[in-house]
């Protein structure tokens, strides 16, 4: 379909031409991760979609929100000024308590229900829980 300002159809966006690394990430509340783009040396603008779900600075340093109530997904976008080139990465966010809840559940199953504090502490040390 030819470009027509009155057309209700938008042309498909071009395919990504930049590689954002890491391509995928799983983060918890409050985590910080540095993204980079290839080819290196390009000036890019960083953003997230949806906006406001954490912060990304001009250097590609992303900080997850301090509180994440449930699993969330977002896209990190790097694009050159004017938008001629871009690349994306996928991020999954989980709450900071999700890992702790897992370890407490695992400890209670491994030891006894409910898990005594000493058993949880031993299970956590043995399994490197944080």
Taking only the tens place, the pLDDT of each residue in 65-107 is: 999 988 999 999 999 999 899 999 999 999 855 555 555 555 5
Taking only the tens place, the pLDDT of each residue in 20-29 is: 999 999 999 9
Q: What is the mean pLDDT of residues 98-119?
A: 52
Q: What is the mean pLDDT of residues 105-123?
A: 51
Q: What homologous superfamily does CATH list for 19-95?
A: Cadherins (2.60.40.60)
Between 121 and 41, where is the model more confident? 41
Query: Could you give the dihedral angle defined by the CA atoms of residues 45, 92, 49 and 40, in that order, rounded to the nearest 10 degrees?
Result: 20
Mean pLDDT of all residues belonging to the chain = 78
Which pLDDT band holds residue 31 (cuts at 50, 70, 90)?
very high
Give the pLDDT confidence score for residue 11 in this predicted structure. Answer: 59
Tokens at 52, concatenated: 């406001």
Report the alpha-carbon distance of residue 116 to residue 123 in Å, rounded.
Answer: 11
Each domain of the chain, given as residue ranges in start order, spans 19-95, 96-130
């Amino acid at each position: 379909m030819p470009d027509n300002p009155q057309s209700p159809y938008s042309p498909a966006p071009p395919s990504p031409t930049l590689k954002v690394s890491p391509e995928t990430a799983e983060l918890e509340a409050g985590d910080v991760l540095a993204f980079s783009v290839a080819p290196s040396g390009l000036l890019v603008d960083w953003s997230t979609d949806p906006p406001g779900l954490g912060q990304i600075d001009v250097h590609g340093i992303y900080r997850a929100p301090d509180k994440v109530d449930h699993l969330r997904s977002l896209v990190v976008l790097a694009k050159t000024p004017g938008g001629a080139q871009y690349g994306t990465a996928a991020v999954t966010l989980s709450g900071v308590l999700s890992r702790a809840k897992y370890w407490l559940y695992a400890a209670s199953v491994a030891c006894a229900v409910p898990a005594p504090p000493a058993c949880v502490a031993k299970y956590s040390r043995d399994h490197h829980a944080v």
